[in-house]
Structure 1
């Protein structure tokens, strides 16, 4: 263990304490000078303090690597150079790694929750073999080499609580120190070109790769030069199924290259451990879905299994997507195997074998658990697009083949080549199970939102790529084949396991034991898609109605168009909520394209999603009778039949009338929730308390409301007595003091009895005088009378009073006749 007493290294310690309080530029320069001019023995004990000061794993807050950007100028350049893969600090770490007896303690509490609970329960992950020490009954101590110690600090910084609580957004990740360093590390430790693999220092006892060789591997005699390579328990079954094990003579150059690969593999494992393994899919889902009630009665076991759920930040998701992109480039850069003859075995370079084994052996399960947890727990808002794009990045490796020639990359309109069939087969749950999770989320989305419409459009577009649905259907068809088949391989006949075994092993590795697989192209998925497409159709219809409404208003002509001045005071910049007309049309286009793509994926006809919309129980028998005839009809006949049947049904949801208004039935609730039918929306409250409109004067409306409220409170008894008179005065009073709701009218929506009784009482309402349109009309009439008849203000007021009396008298004489006509 490294010495922990600063007094033992007092000269170096004093220099270090003097430089850490300085600004970044002199601090980095002085640290570089200390690393270059001090002995390795003194600096080895100083490494934990340097890393704690930089990354803040302990009480130190750490450097602001998440906010330090290129706008800071020299500070950005100095810090990235100091922490770069070939910078002074990591060059020093490489040298310390050569000492196999030099280890450092990393806080056990800083490990991911699933790893901590596995170790506490007695299980030992393969990555932590020979890294844990137990001291009595206390928690184990994690001891790491210098390189692992550095990378543990670097990766933990992203998921520490202090960074998670900031909720920063790196819109341009190349301008911020932390993502900039990650990109440099990826290109350094996972180079796309085999010749650009860094020349790491090698220790006399060659460092072996934990993936290329398990800890239990044994060596033959030194003279033989052969070595038996075995794989970890997790990858052993996969290796037997996916590819044959190869055993060949290791040359000294190959031994050296395998030792260099250790650095790349260790870097990938640490990144995956901290960024992809914060939640376990199988344990968490198994408890929450089936045995949560049982665990409530067994608190000790529940506490050991139900740890906190970690929700990644937006920046965390962005970096995971950056990682997946580079991993695709890295794996796709593998060189093909060259076989000289059918009787010889291809000699595979260790770096190429590492590229082929990277995803299935190290990362597949962790990436799957990470995406599964994100799909299940991410908030139902537009930020889900980050997680969605990360998923789409992983399932489209064909888009990441040559980073230097982006213009020649696969476009989302080109056909997916059959060469990607093995990747789709070996990762099929990423396509089938994850798509099912997405459909469940999509059904809860607000599809009239531009962001949500684009999210569902992106998935539909990817899954309908030419050639892609055919490969998905072929993989799912092979899942249900059983037995073994014979095939020719390299000129010889052999028996290989059927693909069913591979896919079933994939399910057992990635999913929980009680997982129920749902066919991607089965009846249940078809029913879910029908439901989703109906929601899309309803959202599109609602948006189309808002776009057509301004067009209907513009159709007014003649006398009505001349006096209609409401368009001058309406806000036409917003068509639906906060969206403009252009944005609404964009949403409609996204929804239309989504329907087209999903119909191509599942082999449905464009209008089939609205063909059998569930109605009330009485309508179900009518539609079920039509269902048997539609199979032999053309698409035009189907559409005509659907429109005819839908037009004959009532437009309002099923309901029953009560004394408090309509009450929905079960069928009515379904129709209303899915947008199949709707009530005519009318305001049922006090009309004087409606929100002030854009065509009303705010101050005038408030003053008139206070005046009307004061008059109604002072004279409410006299008003009721006047309206109850059976003579002409009573009828005229009913015209002027009409209640908002007639006492004999049944409310069209549920309303409290006290409010309903209050709205049926006669009252004075002067709010109409607060409308700009009314004021303009009064001003026009005033100037017309002034210039045509010479009326002054007093004469104009008398004219208005006379018009009001004539209007009341006319309405009073015709009131009973209108009631008789309406009743008949």
Structure 2
């Protein structure tokens, strides 16, 4: 197919622009959006969207899921400004809504799992959702959906949602690094902004952008079983030309639909919210985690948490909204409830036991606490007040309907929490978050009461829940059973014994941390006594905290977190704390001879090393004790060092050591007072160790370093700041900066001589 000259020129121009660097690309596209007509933008719009999200090209696209404020502040701000709700691209999406041309998406291009199936595609083929009735084009021969006809806004939002399902953390090392940290990417920021805009908390908030054609999309009947609005609902009617299968017709947003008086004016702004709700929930919560080869990224799970929180905000404002969004507010939480249980179960069963488990925990805790996402709670958080919202009786219905999400998910997480190492701060904090959630107010009593009531009616059975939700507007639900209809209860005798054993493990971990804290404190005190008062004072003023002090600062917070978690669970499940052998403080005990023989090390060169006795905790302890044994002068540059000066001083030190090495070594080994002074000024001899992997085998290489001169400390900013202060003081007091420098050198000499005397 050959394009007309003008169209071909436009295609060549957009291909050239899309190959530009990111900043120049955004600038050129903004200019093109202003100068081109709507008809011209329609020709290039799909190409731009495909380039943004890496369709048929680079999977990273424009880097929305890899760009953070830390690794690229300029790119981060530029992308956020370009794709924001009032940015140039969103304005173009709404500008194209005035036209009748639709954009087609082939069903075969939608993502599928490892088995070649997709829950979302199956839902489209089964036609189980009325929302997609005017978006689907049915193949008359195969009787299956083959394409989706979408307006410009839906076309962009659908690609935006699908972009989160790409396993970028398994494809690109940049994405892997970003998703292993709790940083916010541009994509996650846009998710938050889009959901907050199109699913507003306050009913009187105007959805942006507001200046676009209001006859874009035809009305869609929302499912309303058992949810009758207070006033007559204003539905959008399905267009009469539905089913013709032509992409170029009005379809979901044709101009042939005549606007309805009164109701259609209000509904004109609500169809975007319907699209956002359906696309985000239907695609994200239908993600088939069990059948997928790769786990979703932690960034995706954090995005789902943002969705859950905003759905709670959106649904909790239903009593204040009597407009066009009232009905959507009522059914949005029901749509989430129909899928969240299976989604969480699949996620928990496959998620690794590392620090990223906290994103799954926070997702679950956000869903089971809807009282935290109300207008009152939001107003208190804006004021900066530490506010604990009350669990009002109006939330009892939510707790009853989602009782298995509280109880069964807790029982599913408990075996995984038993395997965590609670001597690590992040794991201890996860336990604290879990205990704090279930200990708030009378939530535990309500769960116990509702679990007993639910057992009478079958509310606590996943199989019973299937029957209940099958009568809801979203009946296409797949649940995961936990062992048949007679599943265990959270507040049963069996679970009480398991909880008691779990708390015993935590108390033992707490005692271990207390002993470790005592040991570290004794080591720090012993080192400080050996160094003397003056050196300790100068170290506190000028040197950075040692690794032991940083470790002590981190683990000193763990015992209190574990204590609060143990007390909370004891109160919830009526466990006697006296059975847990928990002590407030324990003195460090010296290891017995048998324990000393069991302190295995990876660097033990003896032939009697039995690695079968290495437990995971001992392996972690050995790994934590591995330290770099290289020359301190060759360590990487620190943040408080000046690079050029460090290189210069290292060059000078190497020349001095090469020229006067024998004299330095003989002076260091002297037994008189001069030798003591030399040992205060020179670096002590040491054995350098490193791994050699050149031959395919990992072996430890060693090198003996003699006493040597190291001038690198003079390149640190604190030392230079002290020298500058001495120069300024000498200028003010004696009128000569060199006098201040000489005074500083004299004080340093006195300090060295005193250290030599007491050494």
Identify whether the pair has TM-score above 0.5, normalized to the shorter chain: yes
| Residue 350 (structure 2) pairs with residue 377 (structure 1) | yes
The answer (yes or no) to whether the contact 2:119–2:288 under 8 Å persists in 1 is: no
Aligned to 2:42: 44
Match among 344, 350, 374 for residue 401 of structure 1: 374
TM superposition shift of 1:181: 2.4
Aligned to 1:104: 104
Aligned to 1:440: 415
Q: 1:95-134 residue pairs with structure 2 within 5 A?
A: 95-99=95-99, 102-106=102-106, 108-113=108-113, 116=118, 119=121, 123-126=126-129, 128-129=132-133, 130-134=135-139
TM superposition shift of 1:510: 6.1
* Alignment partners' CA distance in 2, 1:124 and 1:679: 72
Match among 320, 326, 329 for residue 313 of structure 2: 329
Are residues 82 and 446 of structure 1, via their aligned partners in 2, closer, same or farther at CA, if it must alter by over 3 Å? closer
Match among 159, 171, 174 for residue 165 of structure 2: 159
Match among 539, 549, 573 for residue 602 of structure 1: 573
* Alignment partners' CA distance in 1, 2:467 and 2:430: 31
Identify unmatched segments of 5+ residues in structure 2: 235-259, 531-535, 537-544, 584-591, 615-670, 673-759
TM-superposition CA deviations, 1:723-772 (whole Å, max 9, x none)? xxxxxxxxxxxxxxxxx9xxxxxx9x999xxxxxxxxxxxxxxxxxxxxx
Aligned to 1:683: 597
* Alignment partners' CA distance in 2, 1:506 and 1:276: 16
Are residues 371 and 265 of structure 1, via their aligned partners in 2, closer, same or farther at CA, if it must alter by over 3 Å? same
* Alignment partners' CA distance in 1, 2:372 and 2:384: 6
1:260 match: secondary structure: coil
Q: 1:480-491 residue pairs with structure 2 within 5 A?
A: 480-482=455-457
The answer (yes or no) to whether the contact 1:325–1:400 under 8 Å persists in 2 is: yes
Aligned to 2:62: 63
| Residue 424 (structure 2) pairs with residue 449 (structure 1) | yes
TM-superposition CA deviations, 1:605-654 (whole Å, max 9, x none)? 2224469xxxxxxxxxxxxxxxxxxxxxxxxxxx9xxxxxxxxxxxxxxx
The answer (yes or no) to whether the contact 2:120–2:283 under 8 Å persists in 1 is: no
| Residue 448 (structure 2) pairs with residue 473 (structure 1) | yes
Are residues 115 and 147 of structure 1, via their aligned partners in 2, closer, same or farther at CA, if it must alter by over 3 Å? farther
Q: 1:478-517 residue pairs with structure 2 within 5 A?
A: 478-482=453-457, 505=468, 511-512=479-480, 515-516=484-485, 517=487
Identify unmatched segments of 5+ residues in structure 1: 215-230, 285-306, 338-347, 485-499, 563-567, 612-638, 640-677, 693-701, 710-739, 741-746, 752-781, 784-824
1:48 match: secondary structure: helix
Aligned to 2:324: 350
2:446 match: secondary structure: helix
* Alignment partners' CA distance in 2, 1:750 and 1:25: 57
2:489 match: secondary structure: coil
Are residues 434 and 27 of structure 1, via their aligned partners in 2, closer, same or farther at CA, if it must alter by over 3 Å? same
Are residues 258 and 525 of structure 1, via their aligned partners in 2, closer, same or farther at CA, if it must alter by over 3 Å? farther
2:262 match: secondary structure: helix
The answer (yes or no) to whether the contact 2:54–2:62 under 8 Å persists in 1 is: yes
* Alignment partners' CA distance in 2, 1:550 and 1:161: 42
Aligned to 1:664: none
Aligned to 2:658: none
| Residue 277 (structure 2) pairs with residue 277 (structure 1) | no
TM superposition shift of 1:359: 1.1
Aligned to 2:514: 544
1:143 match: secondary structure: strand
CA RMSD of aligned residues (A): 4.7
Are residues 152 and 437 of structure 1, via their aligned partners in 2, closer, same or farther at CA, if it must alter by over 3 Å? same
TM superposition shift of 1:80: 3.1
2:153 match: secondary structure: helix
1:380 match: secondary structure: coil
Are residues 455 and 69 of structure 1, via their aligned partners in 2, closer, same or farther at CA, if it must alter by over 3 Å? closer
* Alignment partners' CA distance in 2, 1:750 and 1:376: 29
Are residues 96 and 133 of structure 1, via their aligned partners in 2, closer, same or farther at CA, if it must alter by over 3 Å? farther
Are residues 67 and 133 of structure 1, via their aligned partners in 2, closer, same or farther at CA, if it must alter by over 3 Å? same
TM-superposition CA deviations, 1:485-514 (whole Å, max 9, x none)? xxxxxxxxxxxxxxx988972599563366
TM-superposition CA deviations, 1:755-809 (whole Å, max 9, x none)? xxxxxxxxxxxxxxxxxxxxxxxxxxx99xxxxxxxxxxxxxxxxxxxxxxxxxx
The answer (yes or no) to whether the contact 2:203–2:320 under 8 Å persists in 1 is: no
The answer (yes or no) to whether the contact 1:279–1:369 under 8 Å persists in 2 is: no
* Alignment partners' CA distance in 2, 1:267 and 1:6: 36
* Alignment partners' CA distance in 2, 1:529 and 1:313: 31
TM superposition shift of 1:460: 0.8
User: Is the deviation greater in 153-162 or in 457-466?
Assistant: 153-162
* Alignment partners' CA distance in 2, 1:266 and 1:168: 32
> If the length of structure 2 is used for normalisation, what is the TM-score?
0.62
TM superposition shift of 1:531: 1.9
* Alignment partners' CA distance in 1, 2:431 and 2:48: 47
| Residue 554 (structure 2) pairs with residue 589 (structure 1) | no
Are residues 388 and 205 of structure 1, via their aligned partners in 2, closer, same or farther at CA, if it must alter by over 3 Å? closer
TM superposition shift of 1:442: 0.8
TM superposition shift of 1:373: 2.0
* Alignment partners' CA distance in 1, 2:27 and 2:198: 25
The answer (yes or no) to whether the contact 1:254–1:349 under 8 Å persists in 2 is: no
| Residue 18 (structure 2) pairs with residue 35 (structure 1) | no
Aligned to 2:188: 179
The answer (yes or no) to whether the contact 2:107–2:148 under 8 Å persists in 1 is: no
Aligned to 1:430: 405
The answer (yes or no) to whether the contact 1:96–1:102 under 8 Å persists in 2 is: no
* Alignment partners' CA distance in 1, 2:159 and 2:120: 21
Aligned to 2:218: 207
2:328 match: secondary structure: helix
TM-superposition CA deviations, 1:194-244 (whole Å, max 9, x none)? 2323336456585224xxx15xxxxxxxxxxxxxxxx2xxxx6xx33xx45
* Alignment partners' CA distance in 1, 2:345 and 2:458: 31
* Alignment partners' CA distance in 2, 1:38 and 1:553: 72
1:308 match: secondary structure: coil
* Alignment partners' CA distance in 2, 1:610 and 1:73: 51
The answer (yes or no) to whether the contact 1:428–1:503 under 8 Å persists in 2 is: no
Aligned to 1:254: 263
Aligned to 2:250: none
Q: 1:665-684 residue pairs with structure 2 within 5 A?
A: 680-683=594-597
- Does 1 or 2 have the higher relative contact order (CA < 8 Å, sep 6+)? 2
Are residues 41 and 133 of structure 1, via their aligned partners in 2, closer, same or farther at CA, if it must alter by over 3 Å? farther
* Alignment partners' CA distance in 2, 1:518 and 1:64: 46
> If the length of structure 1 is used for normalisation, what is the TM-score?
0.57
1:196 match: secondary structure: coil
* Alignment partners' CA distance in 2, 1:555 and 1:8: 80
Are residues 54 and 518 of structure 1, via their aligned partners in 2, closer, same or farther at CA, if it must alter by over 3 Å? same
* Alignment partners' CA distance in 1, 2:277 and 2:332: 9
The answer (yes or no) to whether the contact 2:407–2:490 under 8 Å persists in 1 is: yes
2:56 match: secondary structure: coil
Aligned to 1:80: 80
Aligned to 1:343: none
* Alignment partners' CA distance in 1, 2:27 and 2:521: 68
The answer (yes or no) to whether the contact 1:105–1:144 under 8 Å persists in 2 is: yes
Are residues 411 and 309 of structure 1, via their aligned partners in 2, closer, same or farther at CA, if it must alter by over 3 Å? farther
* Alignment partners' CA distance in 1, 2:198 and 2:524: 65
TM superposition shift of 1:20: 2.4
The answer (yes or no) to whether the contact 2:421–2:427 under 8 Å persists in 1 is: yes
1:167 match: secondary structure: helix
* Alignment partners' CA distance in 2, 1:309 and 1:369: 18
| Residue 91 (structure 2) pairs with residue 91 (structure 1) | yes
* Alignment partners' CA distance in 1, 2:139 and 2:9: 34
Q: 1:725-764 residue pairs with structure 2 within 5 A?
A: none
Are residues 520 and 49 of structure 1, via their aligned partners in 2, closer, same or farther at CA, if it must alter by over 3 Å? same
TM superposition shift of 1:397: 2.2
The answer (yes or no) to whether the contact 2:168–2:176 under 8 Å persists in 1 is: no
Are residues 475 and 502 of structure 1, via their aligned partners in 2, closer, same or farther at CA, if it must alter by over 3 Å? farther
2:105 match: secondary structure: strand
* Alignment partners' CA distance in 1, 2:390 and 2:7: 64
